[in-house]
A and B are shown apart, each in its own frame.
Chain A
Amino acid sequence: MHDGAISTVFFYLFAASSIALALGVVLGRRLLRSAICLIGVLGSSAGLTLVLGFEFVAGIQVLVFIGGIVVMLLFAIMMTSQGHTFEQQPTLRRRVAGATVAAAFFTVTLSAYLNADFPVPTAEQLAVSHEGADEIGRKLLSNQGDGYIVPFEVISLLLLSALIGGIVIARKHAPEDEESDQDQGLANHPSDVGR
C-alpha cells in the first residue's frame, strides 16, 4: 500500500507551493504577477481538498475562485492600471493600516486555531463522504433538521441583490439612452469592452 505515502507527498507538495505562492502574492511588486500567484495559491488549496478526497469541493473551488474571482481581479487590474503597474512606495498611513489589519487577522486566526478542536474523521467516515456531489445537493435543499435550505435561499437573495446593485452601478445613462449608446459603437472604448 503506497496510498498513504503518496497522499503525504502530495500534501506537502501542495502545502509548500501554496505557502511559497502566497508569499509571492504578498511580496510581489507587480500587481498582475501577484494575481497570477493567487491562481497558484487557490489551485494548491484545491489540490489539498483533492488529497482529502473531496473532488466536488475541489472542482467548485477551481470553478468559483480561479474561473470567477481571479478572472474578475485580472479584469480589474487590466482596466484600471496603466501599462506596468508597480506598487509605489506606500504612504505611512497605508503602512500602519496594513500592519494593523494584518496583525488583527493574525490574532483572530491564531486564537481560532488554538481554541478549535479539529475532529479527525475515521477511515469509514471518509469512505462515506466520498460520494460528495449528491449528498451536498440533498443537504443544501432539504428542509429537514439537518438541511440548509434557509441559509441557501438567504445567500441566493444576497447574490441577487448584489447582481442588481452591480447593474445599477454599471449603468451610466438613463434606460432610454442605452440603445443609441450601444449603436454608436461606444463599446469600442477599452473600458467598455466587458460591459
Chain B
Amino acid sequence: MNLISTPLLAQADPASAGAAPSMERVPTVSERAAEALQHGIWGAAFYIVIGLVAVLIVVSVLGLVMSYIERKVAGHFQCRLGPMRVGPHGILQSLADGIKLLFKEGIEPGHGDKVIFIGAPIFSITATILLLAIVPVAPGIQVVDMNVGVVYIAAVSGIGVMGILMGGWSSDNKWSLLGAMRAGAQMISYEISLTIAILVVVMFSGTLRVSEIIESQQQGWWIWRGHGVAIVAFCLYLIASTAELNRTPFDLPEGESELTGGYHTEYSGLRFSFFFLAEFANLFVFSALATTFFLGGWLPFHIGDYEGFNRVMDILPPVISPLFWFGIKCTALIFLLMWFRWTFPRLRMDQLMRLEWKVLLPFGFANLILAATVVLTGLYFFPTAT
C-alpha cells in the first residue's frame, strides 16, 4: 500500500522531502554553510550571517506581532476591542511600544549585583535564539538540523531558567527573588513532563532528528497514529509547556497581586524588553515544536493512503504548501495557549507542585510505558514499512 501511494504523493507535493525516498533532502542553512566551507571560508560566513540575521529578525518580528495578537485576543475575550488608536485597528501599537521601550532609561537597583543583573536578560534571550535555530518551518527553512535535535531542545531550554534565576536574585528585591524561585522550581519540575511527552514521539518515530520526526508523519500525524497514547502525550506537552512559558494558569512567577511583577520587577527599558521578547518568542517556539512533534510539522493533512483526499490536501503549490500548513497549525496552537490564559484561574504554588509531581509525572511515566508497548506491537495506525 505504501508503495502505491508514494509516487502519487511525490508527484503532488515534491516539497515534502519525505514523500519519496528518492527525493533529495533540502539542505538547512548550517548544511549549506558546511558545504560552502569546502570551497572557501567566505561562503560559509555568508550562510552563517544569513542564519543569524534571519533568527534575529524572527525574534523581533515575533515580539511585535505576538504582543499585538495577545492584546487583541485578550481584548476580544473580555468583550473589548483591544488596541485601536495607533494605526488602523491599532496595528502599529506594538511598534510604538517598542520605540518607547528603546528610549526608556535602564534603571539598575543600587544594591544588587550589577554584572549579573545586566547578564540575566542576555541569558534569557540567548536560550530563546538557540531554540529558534532548530525550529523547522519548512524544508530547508531551518538553521540547524542536528541528529540529536531533541536532546538539544531539552538541553537549551534548561538555560532559559538560568536567566530568570539570575535576574531575580540580582535585583536585590524579595518579590523578584520569590518570583525567580517560583519560576525556577516550576520550570525545572515541568521540564520533566515536557521531556517525557516528547519521548513518546521520539519512540514512535525512532529518531532524534527533528526533520526525520516530521518525515515519519507522512502517513498521518502522530497525534492520530498513536491512538490515545499520543493524545495523552499531546495534552501533557500542552500543560507542561504552558507551565514552562510561565503563562496563566501557571503564571505564579509574576502573579501581580502578590509579587508585583515577579523576577522582572526591577527591569526597565531595553533589558525588560529582552525578557519580554524571550517570552513571546518562546510561545512561538513551544507551539512550533508541538506542531513538529504531534501535528506533522510542515506536512499537509493526510489520511494514510486515501489518495483522493490526500490529493485535495496537496493542492497548494510546493513552495507555499509547507509554509501554509506550518503557519496554520502553529497559529492555532498559539491561539489555544492564549485561550487558556482567559479560561483557567491561576493555581496556588502547592497546587502547582502537586499537579506536576503527583498527577502529570505518574501519568507521563504510565503513558511512556504504554507507548513502548504500542511501538513494540506495531499497533499504531498506518504502520510504515520501515
Interface: A182 (CB within 8 A): yes
Interface: A139 (CB within 8 A): no
Q: How large is the interface on B (under 10, 10 to 19, 20 to 34, 35 or more residues)?
A: 35 or more
A1–B39 Cα distance when bound, in Å, is 7
> Given the complex, which residues of B lie within 8 Å of A70, measured CB to CB?
162
Interface string of B174-185 (1 = CB under 8 A from A): 100110111011
Interface: A21 (CB within 8 A): no
> Given the complex, which residues of B lie within 8 Å of A68, measured CB to CB?
158
Instruction: Tell me whether B350 and A182 are in contact (CB under 8 A).
Output: yes
A88 to chain B, nearest CB (A): 17
Q: How large is the interface on A (under 10, 10 to 19, 20 to 34, 35 or more residues)?
A: 35 or more
Stretch at the interface among A56-64, A89-97, A101-109: A56-64
Interface string of B156-200 (1 = CB under 8 A from A): 111101100110011010100110111011001001000000000
Interface: B349 (CB within 8 A): yes
Which of B156, B208, B349 contacts A188, CB < 8 Å? B349
> Given the complex, which residues of A lie within 8 Å of B174, measured CB to CB?
190
Interface: B49 (CB within 8 A): no
Knowing A63-B151, A63-B154, A190-B178, the reply to whether A71 touches B165 (Cβ < 8 A) is yes
**Per DSSP, are chain B's interface residues mostly helix, strand or loop, or mixed?**
helix
Instruction: Tell me whether B178 and A33 are in contact (CB under 8 A).
Output: no
> Given the complex, which residues of A lie within 8 Å of B148, measured CB to CB?
55-56, 59, 132-133
> Given the complex, which residues of A lie within 8 Å of B348, measured CB to CB?
185, 187
Closest residue of B by beta carbon distance from A1: B38
Instruction: Tell me whether A36 and B158 are in contact (CB under 8 A).
Output: no
> Given the complex, which residues of A lie within 8 Å of B181, measured CB to CB?
75, 78-79, 190, 193-194
Interface: A172 (CB within 8 A): no
A93–B259 Cα distance when bound, in Å, is 43
> Given the complex, which residues of A lie within 8 Å of B158, measured CB to CB?
62-63, 66-68, 71
A56–B147 Cα distance when bound, in Å, is 8
Interface string of A34-52 (1 = CB under 8 A from B): 0010010000000000000
A186 to chain B, nearest CB (A): 9
Instruction: Tell me whether A66 and B162 are in contact (CB under 8 A).
Output: yes
Interface: A173 (CB within 8 A): no
Instruction: Tell me whether B113 and A194 are in contact (CB under 8 A).
Output: no
Interface: A6 (CB within 8 A): yes
> Given the complex, which residues of A lie within 8 Å of B177, measured CB to CB?
78, 190
Q: By CB atoms of chain A within 10 A, which of B159, B184, B350 has the most?
A: B350
Interface: A22 (CB within 8 A): no
Interface string of B122-133 (1 = CB under 8 A from A): 000000000000
A85–B150 Cα distance when bound, in Å, is 37
Instruction: Tell me whether B38 and A59 are in contact (CB under 8 A).
Output: no
Knowing A71-B165, A187-B350, A195-B353, the reply to whether A66 touches B155 (Cβ < 8 A) is yes
Per CB-CB distance, the 3 closest pairs between chain A and chain B, nearest first, are A67-B158, A59-B151, A62-B155
Other A-B pairs beyond A32-B113, A66-B162, 11, CB < 8 Å: A2-B40, A30-B113, A60-B151, A62-B155, A62-B156, A74-B169, A74-B184, A84-B172, A187-B353, A188-B349, A193-B178
Write the residues of chain A forming the contact surface with B, with a CB cutoff of 8 angstroms.
Answer: 1-3, 6, 30, 32-33, 36, 39, 55-56, 59-60, 62-63, 66-68, 70-71, 74-75, 78-79, 83-84, 131-133, 182-183, 185, 187-188, 190, 193-195
Please list 16 pairs of residues, one from A and one from B, whose beta carbons are closer than 8 Å in the complex, sorted by A's number.
A1-B38, A2-B40, A32-B113, A36-B116, A55-B148, A60-B151, A66-B159, A67-B154, A71-B158, A71-B165, A78-B165, A190-B181, A193-B178, A193-B182, A193-B185, A195-B353
